[in-house]
Chains A and B, each alone.
Chain A
């Protein structure tokens, strides 16, 4: 069957200074297909798509859309050609409704006919099976609803080639299913869909063909039905990779952190953690699951002394057998007690690291106080930075590079590397592999397991339930700031976790099964 090509890229090259982000890439997208673009971190997936959507301009090569050679110099050009991109970070205005966001920036008559707009939006949602109320304000929406608005925004502008950058990164299993159904509907309607992703099971489930990029180079395109997860991984990484997480039985379990009835209010005065109680032990990984924004961030920050605790107490049991109440202490006071917490926060560049500082400077965040003098020691942090770059294979021009200039995966390696280097007794990590590719992810999982075997109490907030089930010993599920249950990761199922996440509490007795 002869299929028409919606997009043809030939010999496209894009350089950023010395870095070649895309090197002589050839790629075709057919009409009415779902194409996955698969690649490791920094392999140039997003850069390539940004050239299609008019954000970057290629240094070399040509782009054909529907058979015609075109020049795309701005997002407007891209829209005129029917290309729309849904970015990973939504570009919506919170205080406006869905419909208002959808028409934002479009030209039109002097008098705005919102009813007509709403009707058109409703037609679109009905056609493709979306679930959206055009009058709902963005701030009232879940992540998945916001994504829907972004997609409709693009469709409303008449796009028939849609590019989605990591669309499933923040969705729950049920929401992912819904999104995929909608995307399949669009494909049936003849639209071309490009998905940038690194989640292999989604690639297998959804796409017709897979194009693989590696280090900026185009490796090839394969039909999904002839591919396997293993073969795709090999194309992507360039070598065979083992995808197993080595989980050992916890040994030498001792209490480390005990939280008793903690309640935390945020700046707006809403309770974000309600009467939460749990215990973490040395030598185990305690997973924390929940729908995004159900108190995961605050739970970790409360332990780290970064939240104001309204009631309840947190106790720390040191390996030497001392018990300290840390719930009324701030981060600097906890530090002074020589309690060795490590914390990899969700907001890497806004909390864990300083974007404009170089690697050495970022190592100093934990160690600059060391030594008695007035001056800060830069030599040891520098050595540590070099060690982390070496051991975790961080790709950076030098340790003098500002971390802001590194890719997401490398930023995370720098942060996790630093936190582990301080030899913690408790290691808290939030979304440790968010935005990371397979290889980096497994590097991080292995690091967490290493820490567990060293007797560290690891608390890991995660979003990928499959991974939590494979990695953790116990999983704590948060729902609306409450502990909905703590389950054994070896025996529980995704379905059970899903129920707990949506607020189906376990009865009190069962909750304490393992603690």
Chain B
């Protein structure tokens, strides 16, 4: 009993209480405070490290992302691409199948698109070629998603390693194709495909080269959302993801669901490859996927697979990315400066979710306690 005094009789300064629920307004207010706080911290960091006026740096980021009409379109295009890949990952991730092979699936879609553009550029009518490109890129991505799924379902291989390694195989395939498609010879690049005829390019829509991409991505987003939420197959994916035992108990063929879902996931990522190659770059290289397959994982997780949130998160990440290119040249900083800012912003944004779920109860005033005692 001599030990009793070792325990302080003081109530702790604060303790956490889980919130039962929070109004949407209050939640957004917390997020807003988080953004304001993070901008203040960023400003301090900018002044300390770069001796620049933080407001000017912020203005530079904004100008870089949305300063001109062209920049706005680039930001939109990149956002959509990232969104499309994140949407592609969603069904697999909901099933707890850790597909980190989106990078490779994008490249395969890109190879299919580039190959068709080169082979049939002057043969097929434009609309048919475009249709073919969309279908073929999806099939190519689908195959790249199917391979790890079959191995997972039959041999229970680790899908994380498997999909990751397939990324490198995909890169080698691209390198291999470049040897054949090289133009001009000896450049070791493919160059702009069909630069004159624009065969197989996404046609301009609503006065923009990226109009079709916008429509395509938003349509896929909507379809996947509906598929996951209301379809029987979407329901199966959710059950398999939660517990394979429950799925078997419910009579769900787990193997079939894994294979089917990875085909869908791969197909959407493959489509993203077509959107890059046919819709934007009109060429192919090993950096066509550009790390989007990995960044999209962050997007999918941060938005908890909610499509609306995915749009916002993609936009945020791309906005900072585009802004960083601008401040790098404008202030002679390297692009890491923007990464620091992005990091601080993310820290606050993810951190504030804690305060949305929990509230802190501070120690009650001393007088009140004494009165009670």
Q: Bound pair: A and B?
A: yes
Q: Which residues on A are within 8 Å of B, measured CB to CB?
A: 15-19, 57, 59, 62, 65-66, 68-73, 77, 80-82, 304, 306, 330-332, 334-335, 343, 345, 347, 350-357, 361, 364-366, 368-369, 374-376, 378
The reply to whether A354 and B9 form a contact with Cβ atoms under 8 Å apart is: no
Question: With a CB–CB cut-off of 8 A, which chain B residues contact A304?
Answer: 249
Question: With a CB–CB cut-off of 8 A, which chain B residues contact A18?
Answer: 20
- Picked from B9, B19, B236, B251, the residue with its CB within 8 Å of the CB of A69 is B9
A-B CB contact pairs (8 Å), 21 listed: A57-B15, A59-B361, A70-B4, A70-B7, A70-B9, A71-B7, A71-B8, A71-B11, A304-B249, A331-B248, A331-B250, A335-B251, A351-B246, A352-B246, A354-B238, A354-B243, A354-B246, A355-B243, A364-B235, A374-B231, A376-B230
Beyond A331-B249, A331-B251: 19 further Cβ-contacts under 8 Å? Answer: A15-B17, A17-B18, A59-B361, A62-B372, A70-B7, A71-B12, A73-B12, A80-B6, A331-B250, A345-B249, A350-B245, A351-B243, A352-B249, A354-B242, A355-B243, A365-B246, A368-B232, A374-B232, A378-B230
Closest CB in chain B relative to A413 CB, distance in Å: 18
Please, how many angstroms separate the alpha-carbon atoms of A69 and B4 in the complex? Answer: 10
Please, how many angstroms separate the alpha-carbon atoms of A515 and B148 in the complex? Answer: 51
Closest CB in chain B relative to A88 CB, distance in Å: 22
Q: Is B177 an interface residue (CB 8 A)?
A: no
Question: With a CB–CB cut-off of 8 A, which chain A residues contact B4?
Answer: 65-66, 68, 70, 80-81
The reply to whether B251 and A376 form a contact with Cβ atoms under 8 Å apart is: no
Please, how many angstroms separate the alpha-carbon atoms of A203 and B27 in the complex? Answer: 48
Closest CB in chain A relative to B316 CB, distance in Å: 27
The reply to whether A375 and B251 form a contact with Cβ atoms under 8 Å apart is: no
Please, how many angstroms separate the alpha-carbon atoms of A350 and B373 in the complex? Answer: 47
Please, how many angstroms separate the alpha-carbon atoms of A23 and B248 in the complex? Answer: 42
Would you call the interface of chain B mostly helix, strand, loop, or mixed? mixed
Q: Is B328 an interface residue (CB 8 A)?
A: no
Q: How many residues of B contact A (CB 8 A)?
A: 38
The reply to whether A366 and B250 form a contact with Cβ atoms under 8 Å apart is: yes
Q: Is B1 an interface residue (CB 8 A)?
A: yes
The reply to whether B252 and A332 form a contact with Cβ atoms under 8 Å apart is: yes
Question: With a CB–CB cut-off of 8 A, which chain A residues contact B245?
Answer: 347, 350-351
Q: Is B3 an interface residue (CB 8 A)?
A: yes
A17-B19 contact given A365-B250, A374-B231, A374-B232, CB 8 Å threshold: yes
Q: Is B239 an interface residue (CB 8 A)?
A: yes
Q: Which residues on B are within 8 Å of A, measured CB to CB?
A: 1, 3-4, 6-12, 15, 17-21, 230-236, 238-239, 242-243, 245-246, 248-253, 361, 372-373
Q: Which residue of B lies closest to A345 (CB)?
A: B249
Question: With a CB–CB cut-off of 8 A, which chain A residues contact B239?
Answer: 354, 357, 365
Closest CB in chain A relative to B365 CB, distance in Å: 14
Question: With a CB–CB cut-off of 8 A, which chain A residues contact B7?
Answer: 70-72, 77, 80-81
The reply to whether B231 and A375 form a contact with Cβ atoms under 8 Å apart is: yes
Question: With a CB–CB cut-off of 8 A, which chain A residues contact B253?
Answer: 332
The reply to whether A369 and B232 form a contact with Cβ atoms under 8 Å apart is: yes
Can you list the 7 inter-chain pairs with the closest CB atoms, starting with the nearest? A17-B20, A332-B251, A335-B251, A331-B251, A354-B242, A365-B250, A376-B232
The reply to whether A375 and B232 form a contact with Cβ atoms under 8 Å apart is: yes
Please, how many angstroms separate the alpha-carbon atoms of A387 and B230 in the complex? Answer: 22
The reply to whether A351 and B249 form a contact with Cβ atoms under 8 Å apart is: yes
Q: Which residue of A lies closest to B20 (CB)?
A: A17
Question: With a CB–CB cut-off of 8 A, which chain B residues contact A17?
Answer: 17-21
The reply to whether A353 and B246 form a contact with Cβ atoms under 8 Å apart is: yes
Question: With a CB–CB cut-off of 8 A, which chain A residues contact B3?
Answer: 80-82
The reply to whether B246 and A350 form a contact with Cβ atoms under 8 Å apart is: yes
Q: Which residue of A lies closest to B5 (CB)?
A: A68
Closest CB in chain A relative to B210 CB, distance in Å: 31
Please, how many angstroms separate the alpha-carbon atoms of A304 and B230 in the complex? Answer: 28
Q: Which residue of B lies closest to A373 (CB)?
A: B232
Question: With a CB–CB cut-off of 8 A, which chain B residues contact A77?
Answer: 7
Q: Which residue of A lies closest to B11 (CB)?
A: A71
Please, how many angstroms separate the alpha-carbon atoms of A159 and B373 in the complex? Answer: 28
Question: With a CB–CB cut-off of 8 A, which chain B residues contact A71?
Answer: 7-12
- Picked from B20, B243, B252, B372, the residue with its CB within 8 Å of the CB of A350 is B243
Closest CB in chain A relative to B15 CB, distance in Å: 5
Q: Which residue of A lies closest to B369 (CB)?
A: A62
Please, how many angstroms separate the alpha-carbon atoms of A332 and B18 in the complex? Answer: 40
Q: Which residue of A lies closest to B1 (CB)?
A: A66
Question: With a CB–CB cut-off of 8 A, which chain A residues contact B12?
Answer: 57, 71, 73
Please, how many angstroms separate the alpha-carbon atoms of A306 and B21 in the complex? Answer: 39
Please, how many angstroms separate the alpha-carbon atoms of A356 and B239 in the complex? Answer: 10
Please, how many angstroms separate the alpha-carbon atoms of A166 and B248 in the complex? Answer: 31
Question: With a CB–CB cut-off of 8 A, which chain B residues contact A334?
Answer: 251
Please, how many angstroms separate the alpha-carbon atoms of A73 and B14 in the complex? Answer: 11
Please, how many angstroms separate the alpha-carbon atoms of A73 and B231 in the complex? Answer: 47
Question: With a CB–CB cut-off of 8 A, which chain B residues contact A365?
Answer: 239, 246, 249-250
Please, how many angstroms separate the alpha-carbon atoms of A229 and B10 in the complex? Answer: 42
Question: With a CB–CB cut-off of 8 A, which chain B residues contact A82?
Answer: 1, 3
Please, how many angstroms separate the alpha-carbon atoms of A356 and B253 in the complex? Answer: 21
Please, how many angstroms separate the alpha-carbon atoms of A16 and B7 in the complex? Answer: 26
Question: With a CB–CB cut-off of 8 A, which chain A residues contact B6?
Answer: 80
Question: With a CB–CB cut-off of 8 A, which chain B residues contact A332?
Answer: 251-253
Closest CB in chain B relative to A145 CB, distance in Å: 28
The reply to whether B242 and A357 form a contact with Cβ atoms under 8 Å apart is: yes
Closest CB in chain A relative to B95 CB, distance in Å: 13
Please, how many angstroms separate the alpha-carbon atoms of A365 and B4 in the complex? Answer: 53
Closest CB in chain B relative to A405 CB, distance in Å: 10
Question: With a CB–CB cut-off of 8 A, which chain B residues contact A65?
Answer: 4
Please, how many angstroms separate the alpha-carbon atoms of A376 and B3 in the complex? Answer: 61
Please, how many angstroms separate the alpha-carbon atoms of A469 and B248 in the complex? Answer: 33
Question: With a CB–CB cut-off of 8 A, which chain B residues contact A368?
Answer: 232, 235-236
Question: With a CB–CB cut-off of 8 A, which chain A residues contact B10?
Answer: 71
Closest CB in chain B relative to A192 CB, distance in Å: 13
The reply to whether A356 and B242 form a contact with Cβ atoms under 8 Å apart is: yes
Closest CB in chain A relative to B314 CB, distance in Å: 25
Closest CB in chain B relative to A395 CB, distance in Å: 15
Q: Which residue of B lies closest to A77 (CB)?
A: B7
Question: With a CB–CB cut-off of 8 A, which chain B residues contact A16?
Answer: 18, 20
Please, how many angstroms separate the alpha-carbon atoms of A478 and B242 in the complex? Answer: 32
Closest CB in chain A relative to B173 CB, distance in Å: 35
The residue in A17, A19, A77, A366 that gathers the most chain B C-beta atoms within 10 A of its C-beta is A17
Please, how many angstroms separate the alpha-carbon atoms of A15 and B253 in the complex? Answer: 43
Question: With a CB–CB cut-off of 8 A, which chain A residues contact B246?
Answer: 350-354, 365
